[in-house]
């Protein structure tokens, strides 16, 4: 008599998560795998919940020399992001913490509650020279944890008090909470915001970006920011060849009607562990289109999942990447979004309290 097949092991239940797996990071010598113990237990596995850890950083301003971005310094109030965007290019950074770029990235978040105080100390150094600080370039500063912790708001308060310019990128509606600060800073030429738009398809957005604000909610955020006098750039990112690229014109039109003043785009990026995670999602969420989407993605990346070369990693290469660029250019020009936002001011920077205050911070 043949034996019944073994019961497949089950991990924790996931709800509204982007990644479908939690493979070990690339630096880990061991991998963990669930195994059926033969008892055949029928209990439901526990629900996977978000855990918040805390870090006290020695410095918070990160410097970069990338020729592909328009800033040389940034701040990340959080490591990991509960928004759970399956395509997020920042996922591989979780491997540096000994965690998985998969589910760990969106469920094991590290917050930096002392970041505002450290920022004030760094800005007060006599050697510091102001230039716009970018926030939200790696993980979203307005992810769910921010609602209770308020780290981002306190960072903005520090920047406002120092008269320091800032750019913010988010897909979180929580930024509306800080319109009072951002509006006042924008009036002084010190702030502008980028709102990331991926798709107008609510169902696709819920699957791609499960805990981020819905598309119509992000458009409402653009409307409120613009009404408060905050310059807003619509960031069509990422453009996914074969899946969302047909929405370029509709996204730009919706953003312009909501009050965006400028627009940019970034082609889908699949570095390191992001490639397998995205393919896994694609096979589950869009099985009939998975092969064609990946074929189109590789067509824009020289036959690979990703091309990390400078000057190509944001926009790709090849015929289809060129067509995407041209369509965006034409639509943005037609809608008046093909312009740069006014440069932020650095001449308003001053340490609160002057030199005496500087000495107190050391």
* 3 state SS for the chain: CCCCCCCCCCCCECCCCCCCCCCCCCCCCCCCCCCCCCCCCCCCCCECCCEEEECCCCCCCEECCCCCCCCCEEECCEECCCCCCCCCCCHHHHHHHCCCCCHHHHHEEEECCCHHHHHHHHHCCCCCCCCCEEECCCCCCCCCHHHHHCHHHHHHHHHHHHCCCEEEEECCHHHHHHHHHHHHHHHCCCEEEEEEECCCCHHHHHHHCCCCCCHHHHHHHHHHHHHCCCCEEEEEEEECCCCCHHHHHHHHHHHHHHCCCEEEEEECCCCCCHHHHHHHHHHHHCCCCHHHHHHHHHHCCCCCCCCCCCCCCCCCCCHHHHHHHHHHHHHHHHCCCCCCCCCCCCCCCCCCCHHHHHHHCC
Global pTM reads 0.90
- Sequence spans of domains, the chain: 51-341
Level-2 CATH architecture, domain 51-341: Alpha-Beta Horseshoe (3.80)
pLDDT of residue 39: 65
pLDDT per residue as tens digits for the range 82-126: 999 999 999 999 999 999 999 999 999 999 999 999 999 999 999
> Within the chain, which residues score under 70 in pLDDT?
1-13, 33-45, 354-362
pLDDT of residue 117: 97
pLDDT per residue as tens digits for the range 292-331: 999 999 999 999 999 999 989 999 999 999 999 999 999 9
């Amino acid at each position: 008599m043949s034996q019944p097949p073994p019961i497949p092991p089950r991990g924790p239940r996931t709800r509204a998560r982007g990644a479908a797996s939690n493979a070990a990071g690339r630096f880990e010598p061991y991998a963990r795998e669930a195994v059926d113990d033969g008892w055949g237990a029928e209990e439901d596995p526990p629900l996977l919940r978000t855990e918040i850890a805390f870090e006290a950083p020695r410095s918070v301003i990160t410097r970069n020399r990338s020729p592909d971005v328009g800033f040389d310094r940034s701040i990340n109030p959080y490591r990991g992001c509960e928004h759970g965007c399956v395509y997020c290019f920042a996922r591989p950074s979780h491997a540096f913490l000994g965690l998985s770029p998969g589910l760990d990235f969106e469920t094991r978040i590290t917050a930096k509650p002392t970041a505002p105080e450290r920022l004030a100390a760094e800005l007060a150094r006599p050697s510091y020279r102001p230039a716009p600080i970018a926030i939200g370039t790696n993980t979203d500063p307005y992810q769910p944890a921010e609602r209770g912790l308020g780290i981002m708001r306190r960072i903005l308060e520090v920047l406002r008090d120092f008269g320091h310019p800032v750019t913010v990128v988010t897909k979180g509606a929580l930024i509306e909470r800080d319109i009072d600060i951002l509006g006042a800073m924008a009036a002084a030429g010190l702030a502008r915001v980028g709102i990331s738009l991926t798709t107008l398809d609510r169902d696709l957005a819920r699957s791609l970006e499960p805990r981020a604000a819905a598309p119509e909610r992000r458009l409402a955020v653009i409307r409120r920011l613009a009404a408060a006098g905050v310059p807003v750039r619509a960031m069509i990112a990422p453009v996914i060849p074969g899946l969302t690229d047909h929405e370029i014109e509709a996204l730009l039109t919706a953003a312009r009607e909501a009050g965006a003043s400028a627009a940019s785009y970034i082609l889908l990026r699949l570095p390191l562990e992001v490639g397998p995670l995205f393919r896994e999602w694609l096979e589950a969420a869009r099985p009939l289109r998975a092969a064609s989407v990946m074929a189109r993605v590789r067509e824009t990346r020289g036959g690979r999942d990703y091309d990390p070369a400078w000057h190509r990693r944001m926009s790709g290469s090849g015929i289809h990447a060129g067509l995407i660029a041209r369509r965006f250019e034409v639509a943005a020009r037609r809608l008046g979004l093909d312009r740069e936002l006014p440069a932020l001011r650095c001449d308003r920077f001053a340490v609160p309290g002057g030199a005496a205050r500087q000495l107190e911070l050391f």
